[in-house]
Structure 1
Amino acid sequence: MWRACELSCTLLLSLLLLQLSVLPTSALPSTLKHNDAAPLARDTPLPQPPGEGSRHKRQTPGDPSEPAQETCDFGTNNDVVLCSWMNVNVTSLKWRPSRGENAYWMGGPVEDVTYGDKFGGYAVFETSERPDLGLVGISAFESAMLISPLRPSTGAEGVCVKYWYSIGGLSADRVRVLLHPMPNAKFIKEDDRTTSSLEGANDKPATAEECKNPEMDKNKNRDQMLQMLSTYDGSDDVVLWEARDVTMGKWSEGQIVYTYNMPHAIIVEGIPVSSGDINRRFRGFIAIDELNFADSSECGAFCTFEAGTCGWVQDENLDDFDWTLSRGSLNPSTGPPRDRSSFSNGGMMGGFAVIDSGYPRRPGDRARLLTEEFQATDPDTPLCMRFWTHMYGNGVGSLRVLIINSQDSDEETIWEISGEAGNLWYQGQVPISSSKPFNIAFEGEVGRNNLGDIALDDISIIQGPCPSAPQIAGNNLGDCTFEVDECGWISPGARDRLDEIDWVRTVASENREPRTDHTIGTQQGYYMTVPKGSVQRAGDRAWLRSTTMKGSTDTMCVSFWYYMYEPFIEPSGPSLGALTLYVWSQDPLEGTTILRPLWSLRNHQGPNWLYAQSKVKSENDYAVIFEGTWGQSRGNGFMGLDDITIFMGDCTTMPDKAYVSLGDCDFQRDSCSWVNTTTDPDFRWASASISRRPTSLPDHTFGGSVGYVFFDVFNQNANKQTLRKTSPVLDGKESCIGFWYASFGSGSESSLSLERLLPEGDDTRGEQIWITSSKGRVQTRPEWTYAQAPIPANNKFKLAFVGEASNGGYAIDDIKIYSGLCKVRPKEADPNYVAEREPPLN
């Protein structure tokens, strides 16, 4: 248990910085989120856009089986519209109705959400557009704003806003959902034909003309808004939600629940990168579809505790008392004076859930709040639960988050924090994944005395991984946002001789790139980067190692955000370097170290933070290692790492190109699993070293002096020598092997071939699938050449590089095995190739 005097500065700083990661609010109680992942209903999978070609709407307005909703699907075919939404005319930047068939003309995804085809409509903002400052009455707003019709008070239950969004291109920065207060507006009710003011007083009957023409109500509301927006400056707007990450041309769902007691409007704001950013001149877009206002229960497990506990229920069996609702503590020595949002911003409305530690409670008493059942999470898409907690008082006990298996009631604590944390609200978050149906529980435990109230507010459950925060509360040792420290991630010591440089935790404001971190998206955020210096060489490496984690039969997934950017590409091509993810373990029988690459990307990937993940499976205790390697352009490029999360799940590798096959090898550390099977001990494939390597042949991977394998034969007896380099046993599926090779020496009969072998048996006899020779080739210096060959296979197999020479040799580097067949390159290396003959002269 923590006590007030024992609460570390690190925890306080962690919680404060975590609070900064949520966008600012004004005096409005609201549930906030700023993540591109979508919340899930409690007992249903995330809805997906219909398949291509479907003309069936995902949701039909007026269907009596559906709850009352207000949806804008932006139309279809030639009738694409903005519905009742309109652009805020304080900027020349506009949202425009469009459809998928205009994607390469006006920008946007190639299909909409509602119909899932190219004819369905959506709203799109072209982010390379610049404001026209010469127009009269137009301000210099650097964003496009789409505003809803005037809306009345939400009531205590709140409103759920659902929408789908897509972000693409270099000039797109972010999309936000704002609440724009309009307290002086008089909302015209369409249902009872009355005009309602702020408090609902002074109601007066509608005129006869208004009763005959309901559209007049909408027009009056619209006229009011246009008049009030003429002086719009955005200063009163409240950010409810934000997404910054590109969606790679796909649609992602967003949801929020908010409450507000006055007339207001909702604004969808598309924001491009700044005008001074070089990327502003590149095309980009932000698109929005299926804008939907619905009952707050439609947003699943979101809860602001202002009209009850939403879908959360009291545990009737395994606790000692119940959570209760409150607007403010009755004891100044414990509990919050008001709810989370009004505590920060001075609002007058809002509630929260709390455990009351007063009489008749005793130390150790527990209260549980449960969700309804969730289905098993997808291995690639865990959940992220965010919430706000207040733990103030001399006798504060513990707050836990538990996952309860719905089938056998097994419980696992995935987040826990204990002791007083000050008279403030702090945000926590935890990743949630399960291969079986489950419930989530908040468990509050009474501490040593009656000054131990624990409060809970603004719960949201969204789709996508997130690091446990504060890091000390989670049970995943590798989770880290790097906002406070390195969370136990370390660099090896100089005596270990595992790397040449160290990763450095740094604040974005002190770096040229990345200009912001990923966690909070500002220049005040922190991330890890590989530093640059004048003494570093191409191929120098930096290791970042996690703490040792306990092995398990469960498959785990490591997710993270990476940044690999070269502002200027050299004439020789991209040469930033590489980022590689390894899993480290030890063989319990032999005590040898096992270092296995799981994920790897090289060189320039773009000026954005990008998402990645890879599965890890180790029954032995293990650690995760990130290796950053500089290429030749280390003075020009940037490499960063942020928001590491480790969760349970047999996830797929993202992006696909980062997958590392068993046969892949860049020969930077060793020959991976490729081994010499040459029978003559005097002639072998060798790793290039400073003292022994072909003249004038740098490493292909990073341009360094070493980092490839070669053979050379200079035999005065002119007898050919055969040398073999054999792969491990590979999976039996159609594949393509790509690699780089270089020849050297003056011998005209040197050759290099590639053979496919049976997984067991004679390694000296195989089927030749690729061959090249130095015969007739004249070269002054060795040069790297790309090659590839198809591997048709239904059963497991091995590969062998076979070199033959009497006065020369070959080098190979950067072996990569791809899924699917390919053509032989160069075409002359096909064993069945027949030289093209020139037509005879007439």
Structure 2
Amino acid sequence: MIKVQSFIKLCGQGVTFSIVLRPLRYTLIAQRRSFQMSLATLFLLLLSPCHLLAISCNFETVCSEWKQDNANLKWKQASGHEPPLLHNGANYDHTLNGKGRYLFVSTSANSGDQRERYISILQTATSANQCFSFWYHMYGPDVGTLSLKVQQGQSEELLWTRTGTHGNQWRRGFQTIPPQNQHFQLIFEAIPGGTMGDISIDDLSVVGGACEAEGMCSFEANSCQYTSTGMQRWQRLSGGNSTNRPTTDHTTETTQGHVMFADTSIAVLPIGEAMLLVSPLHEPEDSGVCLQFWLQTAGDSPGTLTIYVEGEREQREKVWSSSMVPDLTWSLIRVNIHIAHSWKFIFEAIGGGARMSYIAIDDVTVDHKECPDIGSCDFERDPCGWKNVLNPKLDSKDWDWNSGQTPSYFKGPEVDHTKGTSQGHYLFVDTKALNVDDTAWLLSEDFPVTKGSCLKFCYRINISKQLVHGVLKLFRYESHQEHVIWEAKGSQSTEWQAVNITVESSVRFQVGFKAVKSNNEEVGYIAIDDVIYLPGTNCQGVRTDGAHSDSSHIAVIAVGVMTILTVMGFLIVGIIYWLRKRRIQGNSGGPNGQLGFDNLSYRNRS
């Protein structure tokens, strides 16, 4: 085992920085000589801003630069293989892909809203942006909230936050630490949701300069570097009882959640005037990107929302625009963008002249792929527009995202339906995580009114007991009412089964899957995959929505064509008659011709 210890002092611009690099231990693993920290990583750390360097940690050894702030010692280091901890932490670390260690919050004796805090050593004041990067794992049917904060004295500022399950996968989190005018500390704060889910972190590191633009912004911690300038501006605000703002946000579904808000009331934004919200700079992608956000509007005439893409030469291209109508539900909007250079996107709200109105957006994501069709998802990258319900009045547990090859305490199918392999992904519920009468809801995005649209999906159920009650139900959710339209009842299947259901609704609605546990003997899993929604076409392939209007339109066109052809026929006959009459008159009538008949219709019998 090799130990390296360094003490470095740097001076620059009148400021002295000191770093103490803790011993870096390189360990030979499985005869592969896999280093806990590569020389390239070490070189990068040496070049990093020194006042945050000491808090980098991969948890392969004890991190003395971080501490807990209470005696409960809920933050623990583990490898994920210890049986008592399997359902509290990830089953594999991020650094060494299952052979190393990470830090997690133990939820075995969770006490409700107990905040478990992990605090860095005191940091010196800084004069430049620094990017703090880490990896997090939030997985299970009952996960709470993980936040990153900065503390100066008694003052705390929220920098980054995530809530609920994010699937059985390590995901990168990062946040720019802005210049601090005095000593400060960074804090990881976890609020566990229950005892069946984990909150884990790994590979904390610091890189000089500001972080790149975030691919997802919920506006819960801050504005994610979105900017708005001018006399009238977009605002980041939380919900409430005000008559002219969203009651709840989309992310948390609470009055405490935040959105980006444009007040388009005529007293604030006169008719025709614009209010701009500009994103940070994004890097180019050859394959294109999918811009996705959730939208809510209110007022008799909320105005117009337009999205522009602005390239390197500040040339703007309109990629989406719509005149808003009042809609107090959160609706999902997707826009495909193809651009070969660095770019920004701009939300432009234009006043519509209403006395009281607004346009609000939330949960903006930029994903490097083509946008999926409405309601459809193969779950290979993420759950698309499908979302776990956060309202405790409706459900108590979450559906989760996993693949058969990824180590997991919660069990699902060995293979998915899309690929038919252990690498493919699906959504599932492990019934051992449910108590009797517990339910887990999964809701789609909003669908428009339909006279018949086909919903296709595949499901797989493996329960130890023959089913008596429906453990998986499909329902239509409209006007806050649940209408069950299908259920897997009285049978089970260890193979993927396909279902086609025609859905009808006279109002806007959502479709939901509900996993139910009716007794303690139901042990196993429920899984779904490859959901496809065909708007306006039923499961027999018949076009339903707009069929009457299309037929009428075709009939009108047909009548018009027939009328034109008839008129043209009469016109041609008239011209022929006139020309022949002129020829006959020239040969046999009038002062220059002989008397005779206009023999236009005579036919010689011989």
Task: Bin the TM-score by the shorter chain.
Answer: 0.3 to 0.5
Greater strand content: 2
Question: Could you tell me the TM-score, scaled by structure 1's length?
Answer: 0.34
Question: Could you tell me the TM-score, scaled by structure 2's length?
Answer: 0.44
Structure with the greater alpha carbon radius of gyration: 2
